[in-house]
Structure 1
Amino acid sequence: MDPAVKAAARQVAFAARKAAFAAGQGQAAELLADVLAAHRGLALAGYMPMRTEIDPLPAMAAHQGPVGVPVIIGPAQALRFREWSPGSAMVAGDFGALIPQEGGWLEPAVLIVPLLAFDARGYRLGYGGGFYDRTLEGLRARGPVLAVGFAFAAQEVDAVPIDATDQPLDMIVTEQGVRRF
């Protein structure tokens, strides 16, 4: 895939997400918590929302089981996940995302995935680092993992430009509902 195609798609997706963020998150976190309730007890990885990302923290806090957030280990590497709970001491990690100052590592069975855009095939457009694609590929090689995209409905596009290394989502949760792929 021509990198310029993905770069142009990212520009459009950032603008769509910014507009959706300004409109409010509706019942998205409650819908996500309902999805996660079916997976209580399993290790969950979420993310610390940045800028105009939809906020998964209420659903993460409600999860009955261990919860982690991503830590970037280095360029072109899979993410690792450090245990998190509400009130954890946080520090700025790479790219400004907050990460727990300390805590154990966990391997998630359920992964909430941030994104810029998604399509009806279950593909997502990320930020371009490939971190989540590498992570999902590695996790899936070791066993089942549920990849749940979390986004605003306005972030859906006709077709996400994809490469052979792009990993599809298993479902997407938006303020308008849940879709399985």
Structure 2
Amino acid sequence: MGDDASLTARKAQLRKECLAARDGVGPLRRAMAGTRLYARLMGLRGRTIAGYLPIGSEANPTHAMRVLARDNRICVPVVTARGAPLRFREWWPDCPLEKGAFGVPVPTEGGWRVPDVLILPMVGFDAGGGRLGYGGGYYDRTLAGMGDALAVGFALEAQRVEAIPQERTDITLPYIITDAGVFGADGTV
């Protein structure tokens, strides 16, 4: 039990550090991150891509989502129940939105979709593909049931830490895109 408590405490401390670092990133680095995201995904055609509508100082994928929507279906996550995997509702530029769970904007119209590519927000990450979220486990539960869908983490380089403590339910990401580059789970750019 002590190990669980220390892991929880370490993750809580990392969240504070990563959120403070993310808050301090200026507009140029943020724009660079969005450009790299689009550059990595611009060749996709006919896919269903789950982006997200950012809250707070999260890295913002919406410009890339707008451009990708020309050739792909775009959807965003919706929390439908506490402890349940996320569901994804279709999104398009300027679609009607309302505040969902945790104050996150969600579409009020559009069908439910199953993405084959997911862009994940992150609080923090490490070079090995470890992802630190907000602590609710929504993306870990969702990814566990997504089969061969490609999960791409999206963050700002300031959010990188040496190592994210891993629990057995944590999912390692194959790619993380930041303002500094595209990193694979093996730590390479």
* TM-score with structure 2 setting the length: 0.90
Q: How many aligned residue pairs are there?
A: 178
Q: CA RMSD in A?
A: 1.3
Please tell me the residue identity of whatever aligns with 1:132. Answer: Y
What secondary structure sits across from 1:147 in the alignment?
Answer: strand
What is the CA–CA distance in structure 2 between the aligned matches of 1:26 and 1:150, rounded to whole Å?
13
The answer for the alignment partner of 1:147 in structure 2 is 151
What is the CA–CA distance in structure 2 between the aligned matches of 1:56 and 1:15, rounded to whole Å?
20
What is the CA–CA distance in structure 2 between the aligned matches of 1:154 and 1:103, rounded to whole Å?
35
What is the CA–CA distance in structure 2 between the aligned matches of 1:3 and 1:154, rounded to whole Å?
22
The answer for the alignment partner of 1:135 in structure 2 is 142
What secondary structure sits across from 1:154 in the alignment?
Answer: helix
Name segments (4+ residues, structure 1) moved above 2 Å.
21-24
What is the CA–CA distance in structure 1 between the aligned matches of 2:167 and 2:25, rounded to whole Å?
27
What secondary structure sits across from 2:119 in the alignment?
Answer: strand
Q: Does 1:12 align with 2:26?
A: no
The Cα of 1:160 is off from its aligned counterpart by 0.5
Q: Give structure 2 stretches of 5+ with no counterpart.
A: none
Q: Give structure 1 stretches of 5+ with no counterpart.
A: none
Please tell me the residue identity of whatever aligns with 2:38. Answer: A
The Cα of 1:28 is off from its aligned counterpart by 1.5
The answer for the alignment partner of 2:167 in structure 1 is 163
What is the CA–CA distance in structure 2 between the aligned matches of 1:21 and 1:109, rounded to whole Å?
31
Instruction: Spell out the pairing of 1:1-181 with structure 2 (5 A cutoff).
Output: 1=4, 2-21=7-26, 24-63=29-68, 64-140=71-147, 144-181=148-185
Please tell me the residue identity of whatever aligns with 1:175. Answer: D
What is the CA–CA distance in structure 2 between the aligned matches of 1:6 and 1:160, rounded to whole Å?
8
Please tell me the residue identity of whatever aligns with 2:137. Answer: G
Please tell me the residue identity of whatever aligns with 1:127. Answer: Y
What is the CA–CA distance in structure 2 between the aligned matches of 1:147 and 1:13, rounded to whole Å?
21
% same residue: 44
Preserved contact between residue 111 and residue 148 of structure 1 (Cα < 8 Å): yes
What is the CA–CA distance in structure 2 between the aligned matches of 1:34 and 1:175, rounded to whole Å?
12
